[in-house]
């Protein structure tokens, strides 16, 4: 399987293609008031033809091609746009949870990032990727163009979940590199103290970035389904804990819920969208649900 | 104190939760977990909390199992630490104990090689060993009336144990009502200590019959006014077996017993059990000579009699024995009876002259009646004498005096006859044409004379016949099972009589309703009055085929005292009386089967001498040898306590309920507990197993609640 195929299989791409319009409107919707005048600017450089889909502006139709082939195509240009998207992918150790490779949070998050990048790059947005762990591990500046997806996937392929999460310093580093304002999508499990998350998001908001938080969780982390005695070994170097799940479950769930509520509150206060995605949900479904929620906003 | 200490072994079960806990810990599954921050947190507090919770749950589970084990062991909280007083308790410091031990014959019942008394002995020793330092005890033997009861409790428990160790079943039927009263009286003087009475007995209902009465229960409760009632605990020993076969009686239907004449021996065997007994061997013998060996079948809870003709060849004192062969209680399988076998009895016939020569028959009926059926071996040695010849010397040699056609009796003659009857002689008065009612009434009744059973009124000349006879009376034993032979015998004349209320007892009546035969007891002797004559013109009785047997039966009955009854109760003194001074130096008593002989004591009462021996508390045969008037005598006395304890019927559940509910006795079944535990628990202790079970239930609920609370 080719490298892109590991992250974007044909079936997913097919489903993503059907979501392009919605994706574009969503992305545009998110930029209302920020980039509209500039998006309406003239094209700069021809990029490609693509099949006409309902909703495309008729003026973009390439009449010559239509006359010659009797099939509608629109012209696409690499437009100069101010909308940039940076995806911050959490590569801390906690993202390694998941016995099944397909359900491993890191794998899932990587495919999610690849899918989002594909969608946005198809919408001629510029997409960048930052891998954050204990520090800013990798930085891929936002760019547009068909090659950017390959760079994103290559960066994802080198990502390995390891080490303790340090959301604040790594976010600070990414924010420093990001420069002018952009759409920042944070893909993480957010297993960090709420204070640290708040400080990180606050830094991004301070730079007037648009924030979307995609929280990737494993179903076990929501339900804590363990029955027998278990030795819980921390993926981020925490001290191991031998516990009877029946005894600690209530406390775990309570604290988990408390953290969720805090996260929700602070995202609301930061005007950041928070979406929780579990790894047992197919990527396409997860994105479709996410886009639907964004459309309603 | 624990009633079932073995149950404490289940305490090991308390380790099961711990073992499971440790096993689970050792078989844990490693999980690489990302969300550790929610599991452990940054601080160690929650983890410690979880650990504490685990240990709390573990402790609850272990405590649940442990408490359950303790509850099964039925712990008892000592009353000495209790604020609530209980029956029998006063201070809780020491105890005064009375042990009532049933050593009656029923305790000799043996099953599986062990008698009930053996079990009772063990229980008694266990009670003694369970007593604490400072406790005092006393022993009452319920079946031994010769046992001198103690006057106070003693701290010397060893002496009681020694007394119990060699105990054997005694002969008497116990009365627990009396023993309980005695024990309570004894404890009243025990001072301010715990008062306890322990009754160790089989389950036989007989000893309890008086305890179960309302009067005893009322008296027992009345004792409360004098202080707290003693705590009474009953330890039943042995089983509920009640099957028992006993020889209940052995007797000759006609007395005295004659030698060389068939005598009728009747043996009664009672089946006390609820199952029929079939073809049980029954042996009868005298000395070493077997009389008969037969079998007997007895329905449940009934009596069967065996009647045997017995011909005894030798006169003298003999012991007749009968025995059945049974299991269980064997002490009542045999019964002995002493009998004096006589060669003859002396009969003196006194006939009055006929009032009219024409009315007397030419043949004298009485000698013919008495000799009927015998050749020259009649047991009735008949002598004839006129009334004027009666004197004490003549009557001394006489056993039965027949006053035929009774005429006028002088006062001295009446006194002599009265003295004769008082001494045991028998008198048969036959009325006739010479009888003068007024004179007879005056001479034979009143002024210290009571020879006449009924007042003579006058002659009734009216044909009648014998209507009813009292078949149960010994005089009519020979008619047992036969039709009345006198119904067709006409009687034309008879004296109308009125029996004296306190003396006369009618044995036969005429169809007219008037008595024909009236009996009275005079001193040790008997008097029979026949209200008709044996003359032909008065009645046809002499011609009746049944009359010889009736006459012989009456004479035999009246002469029964010719034989001395040598059957005694335990403790009754053997008395050999004689008008002639016996050789007291040669008088000895041998309690068979012992070979030693004890001397008899000679005492003089007026012109009579008596040889006495009083050590007859043990049942058995006592053989007396003495010399009287130069003649060596061998007399057999049989001491028997009877078989009053043979009915082994156990106390019913209802009777037990009365004892436990109304009289507040504790019944302790030693199949489920021990004596020591019982004593400890009853000394005011309170069983707390119910409380523990409630605690177990509560712990389970708490554990479930906490587990759910902490895990949801």
Instruction: Using CB atoms, pick whichever of A228, A247, A252 lies closest to residue B29.
Output: A228
Percent of all residues in chain A with a pLDDT value above 70, rounded to a whole number: 87
Q: What is the rounded CA–CA span in Å between residue B652 and residue B670?
A: 18
Angle at B453 between CA B447 and CA B456, to 5 degrees: 85
- Give the pair of three-digit tokens for residue B655: 């009777």
pLDDT value of position B555: 93
In chain A, residues with a C-beta closer than 8 Å to the C-beta of B37 are 191-193, 238, 255, 259
Residue B181: exposed, middle, or buried by beta-carbon count in 10 A (0-12, 13-18, 19+)?
Answer: middle
Best mutation target among A248, A253, A278 (most B Cβ atoms within 10 Å) is A248
User: What's the whole-number mean pLDDT along residues B323-336?
Assistant: 87
Query: Does the CB of B440 have a partner CB in chain A at under 8 Å?
Result: no
Q: What is the rounded CA–CA span in Å between residue B450 and residue B519?
A: 12
**What are the distances in angstroms from CA B139 to CA A87, B127, B518?**
103, 11, 54
Residues B631-658 pLDDT 10s: 888 899 999 877 777 888 889 999 998 8
Closest residue in chain B to residue A260, using alpha carbons only: B38
CB contacts < 8 A, A to B, total 111
pLDDT value of position A34: 38
Tokens 């516990």 correspond to: A243
pLDDT value of position B87: 45
pLDDT value of position B85: 39
User: What's the whole-number mean pLDDT along residues B497-520?
Assistant: 89
Instruction: Using CB atoms, pick whichever of A93, A96, A256 lies closest to residue B38.
Output: A256
Closest residue in chain B to residue A231, using alpha carbons only: B30
Poorest-pLDDT segment among A80-94, A221-235, B170-184, B610-624: A80-94
- Give the pair of three-digit tokens for residue B305: 């009699």
Which range has highest mean pLDDT (A187-191, A232-236, A240-244)?
A187-191
Consecutive H or E run containing A38: helix A36-39
Q: What is the rounded CA–CA span in Å between residue A143 and residue B149?
A: 121
Residues B23-74 pLDDT 10s: 777 778 888 888 888 887 544 445 577 778 878 888 888 888 888 888 888 7
User: What's the whole-number mean pLDDT along residues B291-301?
Assistant: 90
If pLDDT is split at 50, 70 and 90, which confidence band does B628 have? confident
pLDDT value of position B200: 93
Residues B227-256 pLDDT 10s: 778 889 999 998 888 888 899 889 888 888
Residue ranges of B 48-77 with Cβ closer than 8 A to chain A: 49-50, 53-54, 57
User: What percent helix, strand, coil does chain B show, rounded to 5?
Assistant: 30, 30, 35
Q: How far is A165 from chain B (nearest CA, A)?
A: 11
Which residue, among B119, B154, B129, has the nearest Cα to B139 in the 3D structure? B154
Q: How far is B228 from chain A (nearest CA, A)?
A: 57
Angle subtended by helix axes A10-18 and A105-122, to nearest 10: 50
Q: What is the rounded CA–CA span in Å between residue B576 and residue B583?
A: 12
Instruction: Using CB atoms, pick whichever of A229, A233, A250 lies closest to residue B711.
Output: A250
pLDDT value of position B46: 53
In chain B, residues with a C-beta closer than 8 Å to the C-beta of A234 are 33-34, 36, 40
Q: How far is B52 from chain A (nearest CA, A)?
A: 10
Q: What is the rounded CA–CA span in Å between residue B399 and residue B396?
A: 8
List residues in chain A touching B: CB distance below 8 A.
93-97, 105, 189, 191-193, 218, 221, 226, 228-236, 238-239, 241-252, 255-256, 259
- The answer on pLDDT for A90 being more than 80 is yes
Q: How far is B53 from chain A (nearest CA, A)?
A: 7
In chain B, residues with a C-beta closer than 8 Å to the C-beta of A221 are 34-35
Q: Are A200 and A184 in contact (CB under 8 A)?
A: no
pLDDT value of position B3: 66
Q: What is the mean pLDDT of chain B?
A: 84
Q: Chain centroid to CA B447: how far?
A: 42
Percent of all residues in chain B with a pLDDT value above 90, rounded to a whole number: 23
The verdict on a CB contact (< 8 Å) between B29 and A251 is: no
pLDDT value of position B706: 86
Q: How many CB atoms lie within 10 A of CB B503?
A: 18
Query: Does the CB of B705 have a partner CB in chain A at under 8 Å?
Result: no
Which residue, among A218, A210, A219, has the nearest Cα to A32 in the 3D structure? A210
Closest residue in chain B to residue A244, using alpha carbons only: B54
Q: How far is B16 from chain A (nearest CA, A)?
A: 17
- The answer on pLDDT for B272 being more than 80 is yes
In chain A, residues with a C-beta closer than 8 Å to the C-beta of B50 are 243, 247-248, 251
The verdict on a CB contact (< 8 Å) between A235 and B54 is: no
Tokens 């392009």 correspond to: A20
Q: What is the rounded CA–CA span in Å between residue A51 and residue B455?
A: 158
Q: Are B80 and B300 in contact (CB under 8 A)?
A: no
User: What's the whole-number mean pLDDT along residues B352-364?
Assistant: 54
Tell me the three state secondary structure of residue B324.
Answer: strand
User: What's the whole-number mean pLDDT along residues A263-291?
Assistant: 91
If pLDDT is split at 50, 70 and 90, which confidence band does A260 have? very high
Poorest-pLDDT segment among A41-45, A241-245, B557-561: A41-45
- The answer on pLDDT for B502 being more than 60 is yes
If pLDDT is split at 50, 70 and 90, which confidence band does A28 have? low
The verdict on a CB contact (< 8 Å) between B28 and A230 is: yes
Q: In what order do the strands lie in the sheet with B334-342?
A: B257-258, B334-342, B316-324, B277-286, B289-298
β-pairing verdict for B631-639 and B588-591: unpaired
Q: How far is A218 from chain B (nearest CA, A)?
A: 10
Q: How many CB atoms lie within 10 A of CB B317?
A: 18
The verdict on a CB contact (< 8 Å) between B40 and A241 is: yes
Q: What is the mean pLDDT of chain A?
A: 83
Instruction: Using CB atoms, pick whichever of B29, B40, B707 lies closest to residue A246.
Output: B707
Contacts of B37 (CB under 8 A, 6+ apart): A191, A192, A193, A238, A255, A259
Consecutive H or E run containing B25: helix B15-26
Q: How far is B694 from chain A (nearest CA, A)?
A: 26
pLDDT value of position A41: 39
Q: How far is B705 from chain A (nearest CA, A)?
A: 12
Angle at A284 between CA A279 and CA A286, to 5 degrees: 50
User: What's the whole-number mean pLDDT along residues A141-158?
Assistant: 88
Q: How far is A237 from chain B (nearest CA, A)?
A: 10
In chain A, residues with a C-beta closer than 8 Å to the C-beta of B41 are 255
Query: How many Å from the N-terminal Cα to the C-terminal Cα in chain A?
Result: 38
The verdict on a CB contact (< 8 Å) between A97 and B32 is: yes
Residue B375: exposed, middle, or buried by beta-carbon count in 10 A (0-12, 13-18, 19+)?
Answer: exposed
């Amino acid at each position: 399987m080719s490298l892109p195929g590991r992250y974007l299989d044909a079936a997913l791409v097919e489903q993503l293609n059907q979501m392009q319009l919605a994706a574009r409107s969503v992305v545009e919707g998110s930029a209302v008031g920020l980039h509209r005048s500039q998006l309406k600017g003239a094209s700069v450089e021809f990029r490609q033809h693509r099949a006409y889909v309902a909703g495309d502006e008729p003026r973009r139709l390439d009449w010559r091609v239509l006359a010659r082939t009797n099939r509608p195509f629109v012209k696409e240009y690499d437009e100069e746009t101010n909308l940039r998207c940076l995806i911050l992918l959490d590569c801390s150790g906690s993202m390694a949870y998941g016995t099944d490779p397909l359900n491993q949070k890191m794998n899932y998050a990587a495919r999610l990032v690849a899918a989002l990048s594909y969608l946005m790059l198809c919408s001629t947005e510029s997409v960048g990727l930052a891998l954050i762990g204990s520090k800013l591990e990798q930085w891929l500046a936002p760019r547009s163009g068909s090659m950017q997806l390959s760079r994103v996937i290559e960066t994802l392929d080198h990502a390995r979940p390891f080490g303790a999460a340090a959301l604040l310093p790594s976010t600070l580093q990414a924010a420093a590199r990001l420069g002018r304002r952009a759409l920042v999508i944070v893909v993480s499990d957010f297993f960090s103290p709420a204070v640290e998350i708040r400080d990180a998001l606050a830094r991004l908001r301070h730079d007037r970035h648009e924030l979307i938080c995609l929280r990737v969780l494993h179903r076990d982390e929501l339900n804590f389904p363990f029955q027998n005695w278990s030795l819980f070994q921390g993926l981020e170097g925490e001290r191991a804990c031998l516990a009877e799940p029946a005894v600690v479950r209530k406390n775990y769930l309570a604290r988990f819920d408390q953290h969720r509520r805090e996260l929700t509150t602070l995202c609301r206060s930061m005007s950041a969208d928070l979406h929780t995605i579990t790894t047992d949900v197919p990527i396409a479904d997860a994105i479709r649900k996410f886009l639907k929620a964004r459309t309603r906003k | 104190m624990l009633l079932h200490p073995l149950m404490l072994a289940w305490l090991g079960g308390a380790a099961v939760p711990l073992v499971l806990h440790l096993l689970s810990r050792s078989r844990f599954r490693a999980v690489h977990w990302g969300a550790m921050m929610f599991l452990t947190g940054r601080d160690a507090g929650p983890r410690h909390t979880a650990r504490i919770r685990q240990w709390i749950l573990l402790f609850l589970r272990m405590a649940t199992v442990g408490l359950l084990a303790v509850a099964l062991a039925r712990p008892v909280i000592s009353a000495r630490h209790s604020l609530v007083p209980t029956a029998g308790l006063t201070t809780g410091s020491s105890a005064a104990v009375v042990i009532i031990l049933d050593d009656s014959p029923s305790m000799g019942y043996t099953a599986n090689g062990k008698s009930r008394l053996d079990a009772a002995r063990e229980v008694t020793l266990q009670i003694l060993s369970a007593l604490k330092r400072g406790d005092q005890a006393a022993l009452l033997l319920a079946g031994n009336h010769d046992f001198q009861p103690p006057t106070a409790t003693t701290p010397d428990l060893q002496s009681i144990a020694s007394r119990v160790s060699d105990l054997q079943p005694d002969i008497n039927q116990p009365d627990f009502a009396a023993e309980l009263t005695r024990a309570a009286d004894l404890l009243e003087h025990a001072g301010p200590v715990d008062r306890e009475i322990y009754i160790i007995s089989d389950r036989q209902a007989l000893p309890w019959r008086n305890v179960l009465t309302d009067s005893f229960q009322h008296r027992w409760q009345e004792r409360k006014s004098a202080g707290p009632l003693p705590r009474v605990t009953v330890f039943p020993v042995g089983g509920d077996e009640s099957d028992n076969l006993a020889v209940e009686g052995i007797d000759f239907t006609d007395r005295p017993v004659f030698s060389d004449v068939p005598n009728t021996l009747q043996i009664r065997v009672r089946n006390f059990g609820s199952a029929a007994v079939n073809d049980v061997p029954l042996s009868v013998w005298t000395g070493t000579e077997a009389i008969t060996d037969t079998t007997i079948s007895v329905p449940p809870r009934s009596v069967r009699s065996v009647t045997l003709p017995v011909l005894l060849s030798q006169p003298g004192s003999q012991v007749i024995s009968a025995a059945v062969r049974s299991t269980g209680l064997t002490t009542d399988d045999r019964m002995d009876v002493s009998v004096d076998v006589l060669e003859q009895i002396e009969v003196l016939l006194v006939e009055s002259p006929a009032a009219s020569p024409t009315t007397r028959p030419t043949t004298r009926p009485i000698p013919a009646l008495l000799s009927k059926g015998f050749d020259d071996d009649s047991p009735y040695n008949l002598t004839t004498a006129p009334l004027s010849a009666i004197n004490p010397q003549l009557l001394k040699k006489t056993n039965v005096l027949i006053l035929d056609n009774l005429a006028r009796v002088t006062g001295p003659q009446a006194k002599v006859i009265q003295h004769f009857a008082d001494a045991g002689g028998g008198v048969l008065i036959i009325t006739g044409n010479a009888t003068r009612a007024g004179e007879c009434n005056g001479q034979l009744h009143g002024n210290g004379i009571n020879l006449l059973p009924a007042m003579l009124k006058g002659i009734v000349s009216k044909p009648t016949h014998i209507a009813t006879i009292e078949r149960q009376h010994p005089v009519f034993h020979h008619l047992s099972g036969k039709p009345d032979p006198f119904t067709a015998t006409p009687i034309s004349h008879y004296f109308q009589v009125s029996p004296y209320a306190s003396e006369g007892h009618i044995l036969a009546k005429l169809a007219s309703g008037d008595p024909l035969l009236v009996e009275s007891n005079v001193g040790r002797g008997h008097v029979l009055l026949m209200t008709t004559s044996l003359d032909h013109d008065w009645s046809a009785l002499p011609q009746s085929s049944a009359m010889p047997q009736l006459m012989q039966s009456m004479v035999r009955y009246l002469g029964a005292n010719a034989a001395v009854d040598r059957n005694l109760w335990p403790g009754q003194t053997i008395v050999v009386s004689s008008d002639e001074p016996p050789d007291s130096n040669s008088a000895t008593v041998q309690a068979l089967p012992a070979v030693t002989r004890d001397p008899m004591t000679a005492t003089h009462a007026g012109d009579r001498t008596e040889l006495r021996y009083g050590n007859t508390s043990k049942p058995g045969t006592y053989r007396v040898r003495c010399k009287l008037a130069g003649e060596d005598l061998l007399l057999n006395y049989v001491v028997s306590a009877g078989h009053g304890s043979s009915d082994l019927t156990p106390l019913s559940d209802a009777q037990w309920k009365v004892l436990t509910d109304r009289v507040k006795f504790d019944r302790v079944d030693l199949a489920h507990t021990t004596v020591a535990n019982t004593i400890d628990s009853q000394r005011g202790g309170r069983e707390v197993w119910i409380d523990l079970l409630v605690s177990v239930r509560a712990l389970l609920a708490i554990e479930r609640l906490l587990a759910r609370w902490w895990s949801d």
